[in-house]
Amino acid sequence: MKIKRLYTFMLSRFLPRFLMTFCICLFIVIMQFLWRYIDELVGKGLSIDLIAELFFHAALSLLPLALPLSILLAALMTFGDLGEHIELTALKSSGISLTTIMKPIAILMVFVAIGAFFFMNNALPKSQVKMWTLLFSMRQTSPTLDIPEGTVYSQIPGYNIYVKRKDKERDMLYNMLIYDVSQPSMYPRIVAADSGRLSMTEDKQHLLLTLYKGAWYEEMKSGGGVNGLSGDLYRRETFHDKVIMIPYDANFTRMDDDAMKSQYVGKDISELRQTIDSVRLRVDSAATYLVNRMRLEPVCGVPSQRNKFSNGKSTIEKVKDVKLDKPLDLNDMVNSLSVMEQEEIINQALIRTTSAMQDAQFQGYPISDDNFVIRRHQIELMKKFTLSLACLIFFFIGAPLGAIIRKGGLGMPIVVSVILFIVYYIIDNMGYKLARDGRWEVWQGMWLSSAVLLPLGIFLTKKAVNDSAVFNPDAWLNFLRRFTGLHQTRKLEAKEVIINEVVTDEALSKIEALKTSCQQFLDKYPGRQRYIDYWQQGYDKTAVKLLAEQVDNVVDYLSNTRDQMVLNKTMDYPIIRQLLTYRPTGNKAIGTALAALFPIGVPAWLVGLRHQKNLKRDIRATIKTCDQLIAIFNGEYNREAEYN
């Protein structure tokens, strides 16, 4: 009963956020779609129901882009809010693991992934067919007529119209210039009119342009000169009123869906596989024909086959290979020719090679096109599966990440989600282009984003389950200090409850042993190591490790003290770092080889000497701290003498 209540609680916290983020993400991608195609939709007199239908199918087509982002954001918000309000800590303290807390939502995501697969296979192809059919139909729809003042209007096919002034109340146009470029001629017709009116026929198939008080100018084709006169012909016509009928279809004509259904966006898995197999069979047959044709090309002017006539019938037989009594040296044959003959042979060879290569490329164009069709169908086939896996991956990234950062609301989750989704989108788009262009195998390009983000989801889930401090600044700073060799400091606080009390004699024994070990290490390495000694011997890393462990044991024991002075002085113990530069290699032969590489060996030696010097400094500081602690336990410590 307790677990069932937990599952109900988690689902009640996740589902509202998931629905909210899904609507927000879907709205954002639809707005992106609108901004992309706004120029093709505005100004064409499209009805509201057509626009609504287009946006409905566009929303379904863009759902694969919005669903993973909404899952990531909802998981981040849910678990971040639980962590921020200490609810996640309370659940863990009651003995419930993070995997149990995530289990109901994980099961829900499995069903979402299954539903996404069936959506991609069954519903999405139909929606994409409807969307692209509507979009292409709207592109071909003529725009509504709204001729501006003072500019050339070129939206009427074959005509450019200039109007200086408009009278909207009387629906009149004044000072008009019309350039008729509808005929395929280099001599356009120009019509100038004092005023005019533009109207549409009842069937919306033609424009009626009624002009008043104007002239028609037309430069006609050359008629040939006569008696030295120019052969250019002109035509000029004046009119009081004139009506010009212009073909202009202003109706919306919906294209047939069958043309788009044959494309890869309108097919399910079975249809995609069928198309891939049929096109691949055509490619194989064409490639086989091309290879056989190239094999039958003459070699050095000798044909590989010939026609044989026998009993009135013609048959093709293969020319037998010519057997030579002795090897033929082509170099001697070419060298025996003159320079001009050699150049002629080389030029002829280049011409024939270039011709054969161009012919092979020309014959291979259909094969390249078919291979492109195969790749596009394979990409669409892979997309049916990648969305389902992406939903699961983003959940197992968002949920543990929210449990780690413990920030709810819309601030931090949105920032983290957008960054992760941008990375996912860039990787996915890069893989798609590499697969589409044939540079990678299709499965490699389409699964690239999943292969990159899946390890991240596993890593974050493991860290969240183990309560690891992934985003703890101190942990990363300490790692950076260990990696770069920077100095580290200890931080100790007085314990409210002490189980193991510090015994003075045992403390003095541990401190004396530590001091002795430090002094022995300094006696073993009194001076600076020479170049060859550093590469062949270096410092004993085992001794350094044992010394660091001994210091940590003393610090752990003294951290239980009730004496604040002892606790403060214990923090003066430096952290003995274990760096690779103390001894680059344990093999003497490899060390000698590295020492021989002076451009690399000398800078590395200088860095190693500096780290060894810092190690000795820390060991001397450890000895000094030991002496001061011994004085404190013996009651002989003089604070003023320390700073004098």
Q: What is the pLDDT of residues 208-250, one digit of tens each?
A: 788 888 888 877 665 544 444 445 567 788 888 888 887 766 5
From 431, 465, 499, the end of a domain falls on: 465
Q: What is the pLDDT of residues 69-99, one digit of tens each?
A: 899 888 888 888 888 888 887 887 777 888 8
pLDDT at 226: 47
Residue 114's pLDDT band (boundaries 50, 70, 90)? very high
Residue 490 has pLDDT above 90, yes or no: no
Same domain, 460 and 559: no
Residue 409 in any domain: the answer is yes
Same domain, 178 and 122: no
Q: What is the pLDDT of residues 289-318, one digit of tens each?
A: 777 766 666 666 666 666 666 666 666 666
Q: Is there a contact between 65 and 33 (Cβ–Cβ < 8 Å)? A: no
Same domain, 52 and 83: yes
Same domain, 500 and 601: yes
Residue 574 in any domain: the answer is yes
- Show Cβ contacts of residue 555 under 8 Å, excluding neighbours closer than 6 positions: 490, 492, 570, 573
Residue 44 in any domain: the answer is yes
| Average pLDDT in the chain | 79
pLDDT at 478: 59
pLDDT at 300: 61
Same domain, 518 and 561: yes
- From the list 374, 399, 541, the residue with the least C-alpha distance to 464 is 399
Three-state secondary structure readout of 604-619: HHHHHHHHHHHHHHHH
Sign (positive/negative) of CA torsion 484, 485, 487, 489? positive
Residue 294 in any domain: the answer is no
| pLDDT, mean of residues 143-154 | 72
From 444, 465, 486, the end of a domain falls on: 465
Residue 538 has pLDDT above 90, yes or no: no
Residue 269 in any domain: the answer is no
Q: Where are the beta strands (DSSP E) in 260-402?
A: 305-310, 313-318
From 465, 487, 515, the end of a domain falls on: 465
Q: What is the pLDDT of residues 312-344, one digit of tens each?
A: 666 666 666 667 677 777 777 777 878 888 888
- The reported pTM is 0.60
- Number of structural domains, the chain? 3
Same domain, 99 and 15: yes
Same domain, 636 and 563: yes
Residue 614 in any domain: the answer is yes
Residue 507 in any domain: the answer is yes
Same domain, 517 and 540: yes
- Show Cβ contacts of residue 472 under 8 Å, excluding neighbours closer than 6 positions: none
- From the list 604, 642, 602, the residue with the least C-alpha distance to 621 is 642
**Structural domain that includes position 19:** 2-140+379-465
pLDDT at 473: 54
Q: What is the pLDDT of residues 6-43, one digit of tens each?
A: 888 888 888 998 999 889 888 988 888 888 877 767 66
Residue 453 CA, chain-centre distance (Å), reads 11
d(CA 526, CA 619): 12
Written as one string, the DSSP assignment of 35-54 is: HHHHHHHTTS---HHHHHHH
Residue 418 in any domain: the answer is yes
Same domain, 459 and 491: no
| Token output for 44 | 């064409």
Same domain, 103 and 238: no
